[in-house]
Structure 1
Amino acid sequence: MFGRRKVVSSRPVAERNQFSTRIPGADTLVSRTQQLAATMALPAASSYHSLNVHEDGAQALQALRDMIDGATHTVDLCTFVFAHDGIGDEIAQSLKRRVRDGIRVRLLVDGVGAYLGGHPDFSSLRAEGVQVVLFVPPLRSSLRGRTNLRNHRKLVIADGRWMWCGGRNLAAEYFEADAASRSGRLPWIDLSFDLQGALAQQAQQQFEQDWKFASRDAFPVPSPALSQAAPAGEAIGQLIASGPDQVDDTLYTLLLSGFFVSRRRIMAVTPYFVPDPTLLMSLTLAARRGVAVDLLMPKKSNHRLADLARHRALRELTAAGARVWFLPRMIHAKAVIIDEELALIGTANLDERSLFLNYELMVAFYATTDIQRFAQWIERQQDGAVAYQARPVGLWREIAEGLLIWLAFQL
C-alpha cells in the first residue's frame, strides 16, 4: 500500500526504443505480443521441445521426481511455499540425496511462504550441502520497505536444460489427493508443465537473477542462445517475468493488449479474481464485442476476503455477456488463452497483487497444438463447473465490496 513497488529504475525513452525493432511476420496476435514484449526488454521468444502438460498432481509429482533424479550437474528450485509435510519432506530427502551424488542443489523459498509452509527444516538441508536462501525474509531483510513484494514464482530447472513450472507450490495439497482428503477437503486442482530446450536456458537465467538478488551471490551461467526461429521439430515460447524486477508491468500489459484485440474467444482460469478497473474493462469490452469470454474459478477459494471482493467484477462481466464458471473444489491454476493463438501459463493470478506487487513467472506459448492441449485441459476441468448467477446486492454489501477492492493489493 505504501512505498515503491519496483526495485529497478524507469528506462529512458531512447533506451526503450532500441528494443522496438519490428518482429518479422504477419500482423498477428503472436507477432504483436512478441513486439510488445520486445519493447519491455523481455527475452526474445525461444525454442523448446518435449512439452509435458501435467494432467493432475500425480503426473506433476512424477515429472518433478524424474527431473531431480535425472539431473547430472545442477538442480535449482524456486517456490513460494516449501511445506513441512509429506511432499515437502520427500523433496527435501531427494535434494539431500542428489547433493551426496555430487550434484549442486540450490533452493530459493520466499521469506513469507517459508512460514506458511509450517517451518520446514532448512537447517538439515543446509547441513547436507543444499544451498538454501530465503527471499526477503520479513523480519531479517535489509531491504526495508520491500517486504510486501513477494516472490510467487515456482520454477525447477535441471542442468539448465529442463524446466518445470506452473501454479503448484511444493506442498501436499498441490500433488496428493490423499493429503487433502485426510484434512476433510477435496484435493486441489492445479496446472503445471515441464519442457526442455533453449527456453529452459532462459528460465535458468531468471533463476540466477532471483538468486543473486536474494543471496547477493552470483553463479555465472552461459547466456542462452536466443532465436526467432525454432529448430526443426521444436516450438516457440517466451518467458514472461513480471514484478518489481521489471521496469514495466509486463504481464498486465500483455493481458490488456491481448484482451483488447481478441476476436473469438478468451479462456481464463484463476483462483482469485480481483482485477483493477482497466483489466476488467478490457474483458467486458471483449464480451460486448461478441468475443466468447469464459472465466473458471473455485466457488470457494482458500482466501475468503478475495472471494468477497470478486463479486462486483463478476457482476459486471456477466452483465456484459461473459460466462463465469464455479468449480465446487479449489482450483489453483493460472492460465489465459486468447483466440487459441496465445496461451499464458504459470504462476500469476488475475488480481492486483499478482499483477502489480508479486514476482511472477508466466510462459507464453505460441504453437497451436500446444495451446490446444492447455485449452483441452481447461475444458476438462470446466465439465464439473456450474454457471455463476449474479444476484442483486444491497447498499451495505456494495460498501463492503468497495472497501475490499480498495485493499485489493493486500489480498
Structure 2
Amino acid sequence: MWYIILVSLYFLFAAAIVIAVLLHGVRPSKSLAWLLAIFTVPVGGILLYLLLGRNRRKNKLLKLKKKAFLNLPKPTASHMSTLDGEYGKLMKLVYKNSFFPPTKYNGIHLLKDGKTTFEAIFKALGNAQKQIHLQYYIFEDGELAERLLLLFKEKISHGVQIRMIYDGIGSFSLRKAYLKQLLAVGVEVYPFLPFKLGRFLSSLNYRNHRKIIVVDGKIAFTGGINISDKYLKGDPALGNWHEMHIEIEGEAASHLNTIFEMDWYLVSQIILDPLVVAQTTFIQGHDSLVQIVSGGPDDDFPSLEQACFTIINKATDYLYITNPYIIPGQAIMQALQTTARSGVDVRLMVSEKVDSKIVGWCVRSYFESMLKSGIKIYLFPEGFLHSKIIVSDDSVSTIGTANLDDRSFEQNYEVNAIIYDREFAKLLRNDFLKDANISTMLSYQEYVGRPWIEKLKEGFGKVFSPLL
C-alpha cells in the first residue's frame, strides 16, 4: 500500500514539474531535454531539474524587492545627453536593463595580473577615509587575506566602516576562524546563499560571481581577480594566472557601490544609507565615458548577454575577445559567425592550459565551426589566461567578471564596465596583439584532422555545457 502511495506522489510531483517546464521553459530544445530527463531518469531527472533547470527569470526565487532599488542613481540631463552617437543603442540598452547611464569624468587604469592589481587595491584601501565595500566570489585564506585583516583592523580603529560579502560556495574553504576574526575587529560580513540543506536545490546553481571593491564611494575595482594567493604566486599545475582588472575613479565607481548596496540588501535585508560623495568635477585625465552593466538570474532580461551581443554585431573593423570560458549560446555563436563572415576581423584568445578538463573539452567543441566561419582562434601558452575582455574598433571595450557562457549570462550575478574610450580601446587592442604574437593560432585544416578521440571528448563536454 505504501508503495502505491509513494509512486502516486512521485507521478503527481513529476506532473507538476512537467507543467512548470511547459509554462516557463525558455527554449524548446532545452525544455524537451528536461522532459526526456524527467521521464527516463526516475527521481534523478526531477532532482537535476530542481537543481539546474528552473527558469529563475520567471520564478524570481530570491525576489530582489523594489526597496533595494531606492538608491539607484537618477539620470541627469548630462547623463541623458550621452545616450546618442555611435553607441547610443548600446548605451540605451544597458540603461534600460541595468538602470545605470553612462557617466563622464572617470579616470580608468588598466591593471594587468595580480601583483599590479593588489598594489593598487591596497593603496586605495590604505587611503580610505569613510567606507570600504568589497565582495568576492572566491575569498581564500592566505597571505592576502591576512594582509586585509590587518588593514581592516587599522582602518576600523580610525572610524572607517567596512562591509564584506563572500559567495557561500565559491568561498566555501574560507575558515570560520578567519570570519570570526573579521567580525571581532568590526567588519560586517555576510555570505551570499551559503550552503544549507533546506534550500540546497534552489540555490546551489546560482552564485554571486562579482568582484567589487569600492572605497569611499569614488574609487572602485572590478574584473576577474579574486582574493587568492594564486594570483601572486601562481598555481602548481597551471603556472601563473594572467588576469585583467580595472580601477575606476569617478561617478562610475558610485554605480558599482550601488550594486554592492543592492547585494547587501539581498544578503542582509538592510537598506544602507547612501554615502554622500562630493560632486564629480573635471580632473585632467579623468574624461572617460564609462557605463556599468550588471546581470543576474532575477533580472527580466539577460543584460550582459544582450550587451555583448550588441558589441559583437556593432563591430565593423575588428573584434578581439579574451576569455577562458567561451561557451557561446546560440545567439552569441550566431553573432560571432555572422560578424566574421561579413568581413570583420574576429579573433578569440583562450588559455592553452585548462583548469577543468570537461570545461576545456566543451570550449574546444565550438572551435571547428568557429574556424570554418573565419574566426581566428589563439591558444595562450603561458600559465592560465583568466582575463574577460572584449575590445572593438578602437572605440568600445568591456572588462568585468562575466565569462562568455550561459552560466554568466543566465545563472550568476555578474558585473562589467563598458568603456567608450578610444585610447583605452587601443591599449587593450595592443595588449591582445602582443599576446597573440606568443600564442598558437589554430588552423581550420589542421583542426578538422584532429584525432577522433579528441572529437569524442569535445562532444562529451558539449553535452554538459548547460551545467558548466
Shared fold (TM-score greater than 0.5)? yes
Residues 120, 273 of structure 1: CA spacing in aligned structure 2 closer, same or farther, 3 A cutoff?
A: farther
2:347 is the counterpart of 1:290: no
Q: Which residue of 1 aligns with 2:410?
A: 356
Any residues of structure 2 matched to 1:3-402 within 5 Å, and which?
A: 3-6=54-57, 7=60, 28-116=85-173, 121-139=178-196, 145-174=202-231, 176=232, 179-180=233-234, 183=236, 185-221=238-274, 234-328=287-381, 329-389=383-443, 390-392=447-449, 400-402=457-459
Q: Which residue of 2 aligns with 1:16?
A: none
In the alignment, the residues of structure 2 paired with residue 214 and residue 380 of structure 1 have an alpha-carbon distance, to the nearest angstrom, of 42
Contact 1:83–1:119 (Cα < 8 Å) also in 2: no
Give CA-to-partner distance per residue, 1:263-304, whole Å, 9 cap, x none: 111110101111112211110111111110111110122122
Residues 235, 289 of structure 1: CA spacing in aligned structure 2 closer, same or farther, 3 A cutoff?
A: same
Q: CA deviation at 1:185?
A: 4.2
Contact 2:112–2:244 (Cα < 8 Å) also in 1: yes
Higher relative contact order (CA 8 A, sep 6+): 1
Amino acid at match of 1:66: K
Q: CA deviation at 1:226?
A: 11
Q: List structure 1 segments (4+ residues) > 4 angstroms apart after TM superposition.
A: 21-29, 116-120, 140-144, 222-227, 229-233, 393-400
How many residues in Structure 1 have an aligned counterpart in Structure 2?
Answer: 397
Amino acid at match of 2:144: I
In the alignment, the residues of structure 2 paired with residue 398 and residue 184 of structure 1 have an alpha-carbon distance, to the nearest angstrom, of 24
Contact 2:106–2:252 (Cα < 8 Å) also in 1: no
TM-score by length of 1: 0.88
CA RMSD of aligned residues (A): 2.9
Amino acid at match of 2:401: T
1:54 partner SS: strand
Contact 1:52–1:195 (Cα < 8 Å) also in 2: yes
Greater helix content: 2
Q: CA deviation at 1:406?
A: 3.5
In the alignment, the residues of structure 2 paired with residue 208 and residue 149 of structure 1 have an alpha-carbon distance, to the nearest angstrom, of 19
Q: CA deviation at 1:395?
A: 6.9
Q: CA deviation at 1:361?
A: 0.4
In the alignment, the residues of structure 1 paired with residue 125 and residue 457 of structure 2 have an alpha-carbon distance, to the nearest angstrom, of 47
2:258 partner SS: helix
Q: CA deviation at 1:308?
A: 0.5
Q: CA deviation at 1:377?
A: 2.8
Q: CA deviation at 1:318?
A: 1.0
Contact 2:217–2:277 (Cα < 8 Å) also in 1: no
TM-score by length of 2: 0.78
In the alignment, the residues of structure 1 paired with residue 109 and residue 367 of structure 2 have an alpha-carbon distance, to the nearest angstrom, of 33
Q: CA deviation at 1:67?
A: 1.2
Q: CA deviation at 1:402?
A: 4.0
2:53 partner SS: coil
Contact 1:114–1:120 (Cα < 8 Å) also in 2: no
Structure 1 stretches of 5 or more lacking a match?
12-18
In the alignment, the residues of structure 1 paired with residue 375 and residue 356 of structure 2 have an alpha-carbon distance, to the nearest angstrom, of 24
Residues 119, 113 of structure 1: CA spacing in aligned structure 2 closer, same or farther, 3 A cutoff?
A: farther
Q: Percent of aligned positions with the same letter in both sequences?
A: 20
Greater mean alpha carbon deviation, residues 188-197 or residues 28-37: 28-37
Q: CA deviation at 1:397?
A: 5.6
1:153 partner SS: coil
Structure 2 stretches of 5 or more lacking a match?
1-51, 67-74
In the alignment, the residues of structure 2 paired with residue 231 and residue 142 of structure 1 have an alpha-carbon distance, to the nearest angstrom, of 49
Amino acid at match of 1:47: K
Q: CA deviation at 1:261?
A: 2.8
Contact 2:392–2:425 (Cα < 8 Å) also in 1: no
In the alignment, the residues of structure 2 paired with residue 215 and residue 358 of structure 1 have an alpha-carbon distance, to the nearest angstrom, of 19
